[in-house]
Amino acid sequence: MSDHQNRYFLYFAVISVNLLAFSLAGAFSWGSPTLPKLTSSDAEINPLEAPITVFEEACVTSILFISSIIGSTISIVIAELLGRKKTLIIMALPMLAGYALMAFATKINLFYIARFMLGITVGTVLSVLPSYVGEIAEDENRGILGAVMGISVAVGHLFTYAVGPFLSVKAFSLVQLVPLILFYITFVPFVPESPYYLLAVDGKNRAEKCLKKLRGGEEITVIQKELIYIEKCVKDSQANKTHVKDMFKSRAFVKGLTISVGLQALQQLSGIGAVLAYMQTIFESSGSTIPSSVAPIPPAVVQIISNIIIIFLVDRLGRKPLLIISGLGNSLSLISLGTYFFLKNNEFDVDAIWWLPICSLIIFFFFFNMGFASLPWTISGEIFSPNVKSLGSSISSCSCLITVFLVTLVFPYISIILDMSGSFWLFSGFTLLSVIFVVLVLPETKGISNLEIQKTLEGGNSRNEYVK
């Protein structure tokens, strides 16, 4: 399809739905500015009756990921019954209620409940949003539009780090309601359902209207050609619907699931969840001369820059090279961060390298967002055939959420047992493993159709066997 055609509405639709990704970031990095307040003995800062314990700190951080697994599973079922759009609209409500509850909570149990509610929406966003964007995008811009989620998450983290430390827990929770309200204002009345879902349940008429809206001024013949392709995908999906156990007999599904689950798990084993949740605590432990409330801001700015860069590279260089570069950069930065804590905790003079922690995290976030931040979700949204996409996406997102739950739950204890240095060296080992995984297992999916991807996973290598 020609590049000069009007795609403004398509971009609007992607930005609108990614307001949920912005909110997701706030839920992930909430602990960085908030945990220091909840552990404070100052009644003017801490809304609770007493400072929280290490156990309560681990629970309030990690409980989000338990409910995320539940939200991911439920949302996949709802998405098949009601569609992607209605699922996102319905399942965003728990996060809205969770932030409202957190604003007025004075008991730690209420924070548990609120964080649990936030997790329901987080699981939905991770499972449904990439698939929705993948279904409204075109082959040639699918990578770019998928990368918007990474930018939205990066901007959400920056907002948390820049604003959170300077607001009370109540005010910060109320501010977090704003992007959710904007989502309902922009997405609900204006953005259409996925053309794949519409064609499956309502036939061609609504799907054609949806494509006309999404494709702007595209010629009707091109839209009809795309509609024929979508219809073929949907018919193949409906014809090939099988029992769950039979899906695992498909080589393409098993290989796609291995790739998606592996990328999602390795993404979190880099330690990103722990770094985001404990960013301010990490800087306090480093003894850096930069105030811990300000130090997380530069890494968050770098996240945005690297996510913007990836937009221009993802459909040029491809997914595989960017993931390899991302993994190598992550590993080197975590090794240097671990080395700083090793020297500091073994009573070496680190005054001359006071800058190393923040520089290491800036480099970590730059390379993480160059690949592993968004590309596992992009690949998850494009690697499964329509008839198994719901199951594949659900299993993949659950693997991510289980991993990040375990990482954030045990990080406070690992950092005590292994010291901060050992924790970051452990994470660096997993990032090197991710590079090996990408090199050996991942096929390139840049610019090819879903049918071509399935042929590759089955063992074929002809790009011309399926023509849109």
Whether 2 and 223 have beta carbons less than 8 Å apart is answered as: no
Task: Give the per-residue pLDDT at 235.
Answer: 76
pLDDT at 4 over 70: no
Whether 72 and 87 have beta carbons less than 8 Å apart is answered as: no
pLDDT band at 305 (very low <50, low <70, confident <90, very high): confident
pLDDT at 242 over 90: no
pLDDT at 466 over 50: no
In the three-class reduction of DSSP (H, G, I as helix; E, B as strand; rest coil), residue 21 is classed as helix
User: Who has greater pLDDT, 365 or 278?
Assistant: 365
pLDDT at 3 over 70: no
CA R_g for the chain:
22
End-to-end CA distance of the chain: 11
**pLDDT tens profile 74-103:** 988 898 899 999 999 999 999 999 999 999
pLDDT band at 237 (very low <50, low <70, confident <90, very high): low
pLDDT at 335 over 70: yes
Q: What angle do CA 427, 430, 433 make, to 5 degrees?
A: 160
For residue 217, count CB atoms less than 10 angstroms from its CB and return exposed for 0-12, middle for 13-18, buried for 19 or more: exposed
Whether 270 and 25 have beta carbons less than 8 Å apart is answered as: no
Alpha helices in 271-374 (DSSP H): 272-277, 279-286, 297-313, 319-345, 356-369
Phi-psi region of 419 (alpha: psi -120 to 50; beta: other; left: phi over 0): left
Task: Give the per-residue pLDDT at 326.
Answer: 93
Task: Give the per-residue pLDDT at 392.
Answer: 82
Q: What's the sign of the alpha-carbon dihedral 194, 21, 385, 138?
A: positive
DSSP annotation string for 392-444: HHHHHHHHHHHHHHHHHHHHHHHHHHTHHHHHHHHHHHHHHHHHHHHHHHPPP
Q: What angle do CA 65, 306, 361 make, to 5 degrees?
A: 65
| 467 HSE (CA, 13 A, CB side) | 2
Mean pLDDT of 23-33: 90
pLDDT band at 292 (very low <50, low <70, confident <90, very high): low
Q: pLDDT averaged over the chain?
A: 85
Quote the tokens at residue 462: 């002809």
Whether 335 and 274 have beta carbons less than 8 Å apart is answered as: no
Quote the tokens at residue 349: 């003079």
Give pairs for 414-418: CB < 8 Å, separation 24+: none
What are the residues whose beta carbons fall under 8 Å from the beta carbon of 87, sequence distance 6 or more?
75, 78, 79, 124, 128
Task: Give the per-residue pLDDT at 19.
Answer: 97
Candidates 375, 220, 370; CA nearest to 302 is 370
Task: Give the per-residue pLDDT at 409.
Answer: 76
Least trusted range by pLDDT, from 53-57, 250-254, 285-289: 285-289
Task: Give the per-residue pLDDT at 286.
Answer: 67
pLDDT band at 262 (very low <50, low <70, confident <90, very high): very high
pLDDT band at 467 (very low <50, low <70, confident <90, very high): very low
Rounded CA-CA distance 63/67 in Å is 7
pLDDT at 468 over 80: no
pLDDT at 108 over 50: yes
In the three-class reduction of DSSP (H, G, I as helix; E, B as strand; rest coil), residue 240 is classed as coil
Candidates 194, 223, 179; CA nearest to 130 is 194
Helices 54-82 and 31-38: crossing angle in degrees, nearest 10, is 140
Mean pLDDT of 343-349: 87
Task: Give the per-residue pLDDT at 465.
Answer: 40
pLDDT band at 457 (very low <50, low <70, confident <90, very high): confident
pLDDT at 450 over 80: no
Amino acid letter, 427: F
Mean pLDDT of 358-371: 87
- 156-191 as b/e: b if 16+ CB within 10 A: bbbbbbbbbbeeebeebbbbbbebbeebeebbeeeb
Candidates 2, 24, 407, 376; CA nearest to 183 is 24
Rounded CA-CA distance 97/118 in Å is 8
Q: What's the sign of the alpha-carbon dihedral 446, 449, 450, 455?
A: negative
Quote the tokens at residue 181: 């309200």
Quote the tokens at residue 147: 């990368």
Rounded CA-CA distance 306/302 in Å is 6
For residue 205, count CB atoms less than 10 angstroms from its CB and return exposed for 0-12, middle for 13-18, buried for 19 or more: exposed
What are the residues whose beta carbons fall under 8 Å from the beta carbon of 214, sequence distance 6 or more?
9, 10, 13, 136, 192, 195
**pLDDT tens profile 120-145:** 999 999 889 988 998 898 877 877 88
Strands in 81-149 per DSSP E: none
Mean pLDDT of 7-33: 92
List domains and CATH numbers for the chain: 8-191+240-458 (1.20.1250.20)
Provide the Cα torsion 117, 147, 82, 70; round to 10°: -30
Measured CA distances, 134 to 81, 153, 367, 447 (Å): 19, 17, 24, 12
In the three-class reduction of DSSP (H, G, I as helix; E, B as strand; rest coil), residue 287 is classed as coil
